[in-house]
């Protein structure tokens, strides 16, 4: 019984950490973007994702769309809040890219937002 509770506490801490990391990446990226330094923000976001969550933008875009949500939820333990933050990060990055990766990033954002609309209890005008 004690062991189960310890595991649940550990898992909750990991899930909370994902949300905090994504929130920090988003705030940092927005700050750099407002200063006209979106390229630096993209690189910093990519480094933070890799060092803190063990994946980068390229790895995210390489996940087949059919497996994308399962990977984020079941394997990476993302909550709806974390998914929304990740989608916002990917959207900002896509908005500041002009290469083939841009389309893949938009597709991943759309996949996340569609999932959130299906499972969410509230309507978000930003997502719409």
Distance CA 119, CA 76 (A): 18
Residue 61 lies in a domain: yes
On the 0-12 / 13-18 / 19+ scale of CB atoms within 10 A, 92 is buried
- Decide if 88 contacts 33 (C-beta within 8 A): no
- Decide if 73 contacts 16 (C-beta within 8 A): no
Residue 57 lies in a domain: yes
What is the per-residue pLDDT across 35-46, written as a single tens digit (0 to 9) for each?
888 888 888 888
Q: How many domains does the chain have?
A: 1
For the chain, the residue count is: 128
How remote is the C-alpha of 51 from its chain's centroid?
A: 14
Residue 68 lies in a domain: yes
Residue 23 lies in a domain: yes
Residue 126 lies in a domain: no
106: containing domain: 2-119
For residue 46, CA distances in Å to 29, 77, 106, 125 come to: 10, 19, 16, 27
Query: pLDDT class for 30, splitting at 50, 70, 90?
Result: confident
Q: Is the pLDDT of residue 84 over 50?
A: yes
Q: Is the pLDDT of residue 1 over 70?
A: no
SS3 state of residue 71: helix
């Amino acid at each position: 019984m004690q062991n189960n509770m310890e595991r649940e506490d550990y898992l909750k801490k990991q899930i909370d950490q994902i949300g905090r990391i994504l929130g920090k990446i988003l705030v940092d990226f927005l700050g750099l973007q407002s200063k006209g330094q979106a390229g630096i923000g993209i690189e910093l976001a990519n480094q933070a994702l890799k060092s803190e969550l063990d994946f980068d933008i390229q790895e995210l875009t390489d996940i087949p769309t059919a497996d994308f949500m399962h990977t984020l939820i079941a394997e990476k333990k993302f909550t709806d809040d974390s998914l929304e933050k990740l989608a916002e990060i990917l959207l900002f990055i896509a908005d500041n890219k002009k290469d083939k990766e841009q389309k893949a990033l938009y597709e991943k954002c759309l996949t996340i937002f569609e999932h959130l609309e299906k499972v969410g209890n509230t309507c978000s005008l930003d997502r719409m």
